[in-house]
Amino acid sequence: MSQPTRILFVCLGNICRSPLAEGLFLHHASQAGVQHLFEVDSAGTNGLHVGEDPDPRTRRNAAKHGIELNHKGRKFEKADFDNWDYILVMDKQNQHTVRTYTNDDLHLTKIHLLRNWDPISEAQEVPDPWYGGEEGFEQVFQILHRSTENLLRQLLKGHIL
């Protein structure tokens, strides 16, 4: 039996976007009966929320859609390059920060903007809903729902990153 594909989602604080992307990807994989093919986690580029639950607004929005988030915040670290096959970041600032951890070409090929898999938008970044209202959290949910669902679909078709 082959090793599971290991995916790490990364945002700034690991309490809004990346734990939601993690939860959504796991939900899609479970719905498709393929959760055993993947190992998924999330992390933040800063350490301000290590050990914390996802933001209450993110949890509330996810629950409204039937998604339960079981994650404690953690900080991205250099060892993640060796532990994960794909490192999917939410925005260009996250991408830049993650790239500062390495100059290894193999490591750098693992880093991708998650929104590259958004099937209905050419936007590159998932906006940070932290300073906005509930509508921002819903917008992020919809973006991540589409992007993680399409990512899973592409991985299952063998279209590797």
Which one of 16, 17, 80, 118 is the catalytic residue? Answer: 17
CA 7 to chain centre: 8
pLDDT digits (tens, 9 = 90+) for 57-72: 999 999 999 999 999 9
The H or E element containing residue 98 is helix 92-99
Tokens 């951890």 map to which residue?
101
Q: Domain coordinates of the chain in residue numbers?
A: 5-156
Q: Is 7 helix (H, G, I), strand (E, B) or coil?
A: strand
Q: Can 146 be counted among the known catalytic residues?
A: no
Is residue 60 among the annotated active site residues? Answer: no
Architecture of domain 5-156: 3-Layer(aba) Sandwich (3.40)
Among the listed residues 55, 91, 118, 128, the single catalytic one is 128
**Residue 128 is a catalytic residue:** yes
Residue from 11, 55, 80, 115 carrying the catalytic annotation: 11
Q: What is the mean pLDDT of the chain?
A: 96
Q: What is the pLDDT of residues 93-140, one digit of tens each?
A: 999 999 999 999 999 999 999 999 999 999 999 999 999 899 999 999
Nearest to 88 by CA among 50, 143, 49: 143
| Burial (CB count within 10 angstroms: exposed 0-12, middle 13-18, buried 19+), residue 31 | exposed
pLDDT of 158 reads: 87
| CA 119 – CA 103 distance, rounded (Å) | 31
